[in-house]
């Protein structure tokens, strides 16, 4: 499989190269040369084996990776999940895809449990002996899932940058207290966009990459700019759809809508890839919090970052520059020069206008309404959802006022990870945040998770956002 940059001036000839580079040389993101349709037969649907679904989806795009190695690594990655790794809960005819049963209780475990194994295959196929330096920006969940995935992986070093404010106690503890000798978590005085922007500059810094090469390091990313993050996520949309088919909630071939709480646009993009690969998703519902730049863009075709940035109770969506949107726009327009032009407009002016239909629904949800939705669902059904999922519920409800489709909701994080907000929403009496975590864990039937997380205060590294590159140089090159 060849991969072309969204900006048209760079390409690689193999999946292995795309995995190892992360970002294209022209600053764009890699997209596969072709997206082929796939089908699942009655026997596959009846077995409903997640590793079988994942292998079929991933090997269709990563068609040039060694098939046996890929199958083995997929099986090993998902062997760390519980047997029922993706439950679907029907609450008032909203179907919640519980994507949070991996080690760190976030949807990103599905991709980040596999990414280190994909990089291992890529290094073997390209005969790369250098150590791997993984740089990652996070608003909370990516960092903990990436550290969990890469912990102890031979010849790899991962550095995660996260904002000092806005992440939860558990998210911080998962990163700072991971115990992984090859992982470093660094807080920055800034927001997610600051961290992501700084890392993108580093990925495009040829002098810095030469210094790393001299030190026997190769550079890649665990963010969803890497196709190795994006492609594994496609599989769970196929699996969820066919789980509904098997459970006779829908007929095979029925069209559905998908609602995704959206920050960096990777998860909803994976759903779009699933549609392109043959899954009958008719409508995509992009759910935003108070940082509703995507809602505005979907409704006006103008992307404008000149707005206030809010720290909200759904912090993984506190983003103003959604990296994977570039891939979506590229796939919709099929015009690399246009994508390069609008990305330059974004860089130079902070805004751009897109001339094509986006074919997406966009809605947003404020912080108070987020809590009200959590409380409403809990009181009505006893089901506990996290803040990001609540934002998606609001979007689904708005969509259903004018549409009549079965709606799959991407439930992206365990409510335990945002226990203070959940407790506030449903009116729990608390001593402190640790008490909130314990009480929400009981309500979520996930006491086992608390045994895996060291919630004590750790020694936090804090730097100014301007010093990200300097920190990496001192950590790796000195």
Active site residues: 108
Bridge partners (DSSP) of residue 11 are 4
The secondary structure of residue 459, as a DSSP letter, is -
Q: How does pLDDT run across 420-459, given as a tens digit for each residue?
A: 999 999 999 988 888 999 999 999 999 888 888 877 766 7
8 A C-beta contact, residue 86 and residue 240: yes
Q: What pTM was computed for the model?
A: 0.95
Which CATH code is given to the segment(s) 88-103+228-451? 3.40.50.1100
Torsion of CA 320, 323, 328, 331, to 10 degrees: 140
Q: Which of 20-24, 362-366, 468-472 has the highest mean pLDDT?
A: 362-366
Note the pLDDT tens digit of each residue in 205-238.
999 999 999 999 999 999 888 999 999 999 999 9
pLDDT above 70 for 74: yes
The pLDDT assigned to 166 comes to 77
Q: State how far the Cα of 441 lies from the Cα of 86, in Å rounded to an integer.
A: 18
pLDDT value of position 329: 98
Structural Rg of the chain based on CA atoms: 21
User: 202 in the Ramachandran plot: left (φ > 0), alpha (ψ -120 to 50) or beta?
Assistant: alpha
- Give percent of the chain above pLDDT 90: 86
pLDDT in tens, 369-426: 999 999 999 999 999 999 999 999 999 999 999 999 999 999 999 999 999 999 999 9
Distance CA 196, CA 322 (A): 10
Q: Are 337 and 8 in contact (CB under 8 A)?
A: yes
The Cβ of residue 462 has, within 10 Å, a number of other Cβ atoms equal to 9
Q: Give the chain's mean pLDDT.
A: 95
Q: Angle at which helices 419-426 and 169-176 pack, to 10 degrees? A: 160
Q: How confident is the model at residue 78 (pLDDT cuts 50, 70, 90)?
A: very high
pLDDT value, residue 160: 95
* Structure tokens, 206: 């040829």
Distance of CA 297 to the CA centre of its chain: 20
153-185 pLDDT, tens per residue? 999 999 999 988 878 888 988 999 888 999 999
Q: What is the pLDDT of residues 177-214, one digit of tens each?
A: 888 999 999 999 988 889 888 898 998 899 999 999 99
- Give the CA distances from residue 471 to residues 129, 157, 228, 464, in Å, rounded to whole numbers and listed in that order: 24, 14, 26, 10
138: phi then psi, degrees, rounded to nearest 5: -145, 145
| Residue 325: strand, helix, or coil | helix
For residue range 107-155, list pLDDT tens digits in order.
999 999 999 999 999 999 999 999 999 999 988 789 999 999 999 999 9
* Nearest C-alpha neighbor of 414 from the set 116, 113, 99, 195: 99
Which one-letter DSSP state was computed for residue 418? G
């Amino acid at each position: 499989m060849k991969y072309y940059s969204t900006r048209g001036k760079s390409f690689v000839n193999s999946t292995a190269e795309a995995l190892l580079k992360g970002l294209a040389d022209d600053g764009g993101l890699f997209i596969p040369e072709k997206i082929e349709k796939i089908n699942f037969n009655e026997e596959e649907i009846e077995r409903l084996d997640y590793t079988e679904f994942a292998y079929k989806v991933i090997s269709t795009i990563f068609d040039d990776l060694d098939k046996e190695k890929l199958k083995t690594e997929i099986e090993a990655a998902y062997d760390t999940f519980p047997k029922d790794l993706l439950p679907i809960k029907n609450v008032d005819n909203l179907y919640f895809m519980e994507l949070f049963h991996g080690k760190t209780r976030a949807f990103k475990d599905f991709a980040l449990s596999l990414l280190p194994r994909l990089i291992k295959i890529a290094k073997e196929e390209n005969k790369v002996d250098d150590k791997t330096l993984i740089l990652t920006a996070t608003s909370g969940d990516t960092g903990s899932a990436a550290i969990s995935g890469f912990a102890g992986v031979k010849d790899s070093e991962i550095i995660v940058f996260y904002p000092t404010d806005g992440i939860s106690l558990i998210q911080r503890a998962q990163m700072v207290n991971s115990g992984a000798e090859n992982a470093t978590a660094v807080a920055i005085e800034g927001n997610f966009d600051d961290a992501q922007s700084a890392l993108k500059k580093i990925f495009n810094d040829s002098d810095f990459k030469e210094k790393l090469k001299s030190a026997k390091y190769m550079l890649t990313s665990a963010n969803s700019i890497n196709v190795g993050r994006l492609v594994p996520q496609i599989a769970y949309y196929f699996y969820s759809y066919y789980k509904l088919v098997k459970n006779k909630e829908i007929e095979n071939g029925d069209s559905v809508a998908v609602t995704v709480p959206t920050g960096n646009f990777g998860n909803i993009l994976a759903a779009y890839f699933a549609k392109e690969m043959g899954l009958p998703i008719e409508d995509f519902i992009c759910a935003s919090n108070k940082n509703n730049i995507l809602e505005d863009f979907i409704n006006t075709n103008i992307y404008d970052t000149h707005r206030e940035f809010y720290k909200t109770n759904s912090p993984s969506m506190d983003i103003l520059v959604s990296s994977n949107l570039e891939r979506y726009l590229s796939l919709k327009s099929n015009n690399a020069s246009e994508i390069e032009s609008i990305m330059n407009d974004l860089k130079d002016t902070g805004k751009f206008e897109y001339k094509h239909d986006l074919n997406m629904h966009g809605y947003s949800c404020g912080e108070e309404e987020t809590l009200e939705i959590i409380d409403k669902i809990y009181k009505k059904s006893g089901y506990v959802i996290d803040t990001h999922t609540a934002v998606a519920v609001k979007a689904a409800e708005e969509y259903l006022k004018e549409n009549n489709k079965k709606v799959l909701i991407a439930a992206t994080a365990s409510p335990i990870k945002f226990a203070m907000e959940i407790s506030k929403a449903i009116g729990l009496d608390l001593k402190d945040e640790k008490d909130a975590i314990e009480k929400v864990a009981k309500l979520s039937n996930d006491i086992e998770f608390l045994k895996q997380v060291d919630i004590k205060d750790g020694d936090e590294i804090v730097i100014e956002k301007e010093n990200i590159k300097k920190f990496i140089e001192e950590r790796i090159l000195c």
